[in-house]
Structure 1
């Protein structure tokens, strides 16, 4: 199911590059939704009803795709993570889909459409990139040896992060949470710190990152509630401990 869905989704997205998009704003002028977001979520819904009719969907774009619990089988989807990037740059956006069984993340995919890179993670079985096994992250690298990814909202919440950024090898920002998670999960960055992420922003990426040895939590160190918006950090083990001990203190 997933392979056929992603192939059709990619074809639709690439065809949309040649068209004038219908763009709407949601919570702010930079929080966008297009007919492509809506179509991709509807397309996945059709496939899911065909193959797994008893499963539920928790999605970003359809008001009917809201849930109050994660009991049973729930698919969490962000049809276009990084819609602003999609609209303005035609790159650095992804399809993000996860399967949670009774609240436990079992399977997640992040598909970087423009690069045609497919990240897949399955609980207890590791993760792959385009079918090839991804090596687990280093537990030796600290903040000083790493690039950091952080949005301004996270730094405003925890001002000591400015010092962490100064100590680190530099700051990067992609504008798509799932791809920023993947940068950490593949060892290209030491941590990604963000505020106000929705469940669909992190559901799939969390599964993949944890399978590769990363630590994922709220900035406060609490576990992420996959039904609520909130802060998030994904980091290499040593980077995570240094951030919590030295920089994630108000």
Structure 2
């Protein structure tokens, strides 16, 4: 994908995101048709589905040769990263959307032949758009995000992670995760992986750990982090795979290896 193609797709996607955000805000107080998916806490609303369909219909019309991976089932089933792929989460943080009416985001990552080209994370209620194009940096609205602090120490770091790390002994042992939490300066949880990753890219948090994330949860945020020097992969230190659901670590490069060391210790 050349710069001209990237810019055109970026401008189009950005316009669609603002349109979708306006539609969500206008209808978010309507009676919600809420369903569950994999478990009672895995929620989906009609607005999730409508928003994904909004993007899918427009992508099919404007870019019929592109592929789509989406959370709500309107996309494609892919076994290869060849070509241009849009990875879409129409409402990341659906539980927050349902219960709190805030702290949720539209997340879109656009890859070409496996390379992250364009990333968006839109905080719908805060009207804050995080965005990035490959090789051109990452931004929050019009403000360019600074490269991540390469002198950061783990003991001085704020880590985004949910509490399932302390409940799922089968992934990383309880004692090691307890030691990890005591080692870092503090932990936080927002309830939206996309917003957590935007916070890492912004330097507000220094890493984000999640037990099981799908590509649509993280694609936009990972591309943001790549533009400020962040490192993304799984709990064994392998690179991020955009076609798989897996535990994920996205971190400031100065502390990434230390985090992976903790996790590997707990997986012995």
Compute the TM-score of the two structures, normalised by the length of structure 1.
0.95
The answer on 1:207 being equivalent to 2:218 is: no
- Structure 1 residues 215 and 64: CA distance shift in structure 2, 3 A: closer
* Match in the other structure for 2:253: 237
- Secondary structure at the aligned position of 2:191 is classed as coil
Q: CA deviation at 1:152?
A: 3.1
- Structure 1 residues 240 and 174: CA distance shift in structure 2, 3 A: same
For 1:136 and 1:176, locate their aligned partners in 2 and report how far apart those are by CA, in whole Å: 23
For 2:137 and 2:204, locate their aligned partners in 1 and report how far apart those are by CA, in whole Å: 18
For 1:3 and 1:184, locate their aligned partners in 2 and report how far apart those are by CA, in whole Å: 21
Contact kept, 8 Å, 2:81 with 2:112, in 1: the verdict is yes
Structure 1, unpaired ranges of 5+? none
* Match in the other structure for 1:39: 50
Contact kept, 8 Å, 1:216 with 1:235, in 2: the verdict is yes
Contact kept, 8 Å, 1:123 with 1:211, in 2: the verdict is yes
Name which of 9, 13, 33 aligns with 1:2. 13
Name which of 190, 205, 210 aligns with 1:189. 205
Structure 2, unpaired ranges of 5+? 1-11
Q: CA deviation at 1:2?
A: 2.1
* Match in the other structure for 2:61: 50
Name which of 80, 90, 96 aligns with 2:91. 80
* Match in the other structure for 1:124: 135
Q: CA deviation at 1:148?
A: 1.2
Name which of 154, 172, 193 aligns with 1:158. 172
- Secondary structure at the aligned position of 2:21 is classed as helix
* Match in the other structure for 2:116: 105
Compute the TM-score of the two structures, normalised by the length of structure 2.
0.89
The answer on 1:178 being equivalent to 2:203 is: no
* Match in the other structure for 1:217: 233
Q: CA deviation at 1:49?
A: 2.2
Q: CA deviation at 1:244?
A: 2.1
For 2:119 and 2:153, locate their aligned partners in 1 and report how far apart those are by CA, in whole Å: 27
For 2:97 and 2:158, locate their aligned partners in 1 and report how far apart those are by CA, in whole Å: 24
For 1:127 and 1:45, locate their aligned partners in 2 and report how far apart those are by CA, in whole Å: 25
Instruction: Let me know the Cα RMSD of the aligned residues.
Output: 1.4
Contact kept, 8 Å, 2:52 with 2:74, in 1: the verdict is no
For 1:43 and 1:104, locate their aligned partners in 2 and report how far apart those are by CA, in whole Å: 25
